[in-house]
Structure 1
Amino acid sequence: MQFPDDGNGDMLKAMAESGMDLNQVLALDFYLVFEDKTKAEQALAALLASEMDGEAELNLNDLDQWELIVCLHMLPDHAAITAKEKELDKFAKKFGGYNDGWGVMQHQDGDDEFADHDHHCDDHCGHSH
């Protein structure tokens, strides 16, 4: 399988090499970062009120920034992921934020080890801090 030579392509290649099936729907986490808590909360409210089919949670990250994690169940397709990143970046900018990449839990449905929703960055994570 060929992957474009960019960050998303590298991430998908690493996922494939780790044995993940890129032909099945996976839970992908997109990260939106905000400096201001009030604006981050407004973005979360707007996201929850939208037609988005997914989950969202707001956390304070290690850099004291407000991180809105948007979990979407979708095929890990390069074009679809790139388009979703652009869409979410445009959305975040309305609230003074920006898209900060995406990641995927290496262990998906049925794996009790990652039953909680904590994100653990590893070699297969496109989320940069």
Structure 2
Amino acid sequence: MQFPDDDNGKMLAAMAEAGIDLTKALDVDFFLVFDDQRDAGTALEELANSDLEGEVELNLNDELGKWEIIVCINMVPEYDDLVEQETILNDFAAEFGGMTDGWGVMQHQDGDDEFMDDDDHVHDEHCHH
């Protein structure tokens, strides 16, 4: 598969190289970052009340020192659709003083299922999921 020579294309190429089937719908996480918690909270409310088909959550990204909304959308990761979704979300975030900060896909790894029903499992640096 050929992909454009930009960040999105490189990410798709890396996913294909890792053996991820890019013809199937995946949960794609888009990251929106905000300096101000109130702006992020207002944006989150707006997303939750919109017709967006996906899940949203708000976290403080300690690494960036910014508030981050993760928008998880189940979609086939096609280049044009990813760029379009990222543009829509960037325009949306800008209304609240934020911006997009890329996207990603959680890759299933062997052993992921063993903790699915284990509420006592504590995630640490040794986790692979």
Q: Which amino acid aligns with 1:112?
A: D
- After TM superposition, the score normalised by the length of structure 2 is 0.84
- Computing the radius of gyration over CA atoms, which structure comes out larger, 1 or 2? 2
Q: Structure 1, residues 19-54: CA drift from partner, whole Å, max 9, x if none?
A: 000000000000000000011000000000000000
Which stretches in structure 2 are left out of the alignment for 5+ residues? none
Which whole-Å CA distance do the structure 2 matches of 1:113 and 1:90 have between them?
39
Percent of aligned pairs with the same amino acid: 57
Match of 2:76 in 1: 75
Which whole-Å CA distance do the structure 2 matches of 1:112 and 1:80 have between them?
30
Which stretches in structure 1 are left out of the alignment for 5+ residues? 121-129
Correspondences of 1:1-129 after superposition (within 5 Å): 1-62=1-62, 63-107=64-108, 111-112=112-113
Which whole-Å CA distance do the structure 2 matches of 1:84 and 1:41 have between them?
21
Q: Which amino acid aligns with 1:98?
A: M
Describe the SS at the equivalent of 2:52: coil
- Following TM superposition, by how much is the alpha carbon of 1:112 offset from its aligned partner in structure 2, in angstroms? 2.1
- After TM superposition, the score normalised by the length of structure 1 is 0.84
Describe the SS at the equivalent of 2:87: helix
- Following TM superposition, by how much is the alpha carbon of 1:64 offset from its aligned partner in structure 2, in angstroms? 1.8
Match of 1:125 in 2: none
Q: Structure 1, residues 74-112: CA drift from partner, whole Å, max 9, x if none?
A: 00000000010000000000000000000110118xx42
Describe the SS at the equivalent of 1:96: coil
CA distance change for structure 1 residues 25 and 114 in 2, over 3 Å: closer, same or farther?
farther
Contact 1:107 1:114 (C-alpha < 8 Å) held by counterparts: no
RMSD: 2.2
Which whole-Å CA distance do the structure 2 matches of 1:114 and 1:24 have between them?
24
Which whole-Å CA distance do the structure 1 matches of 2:39 and 2:6 have between them?
31
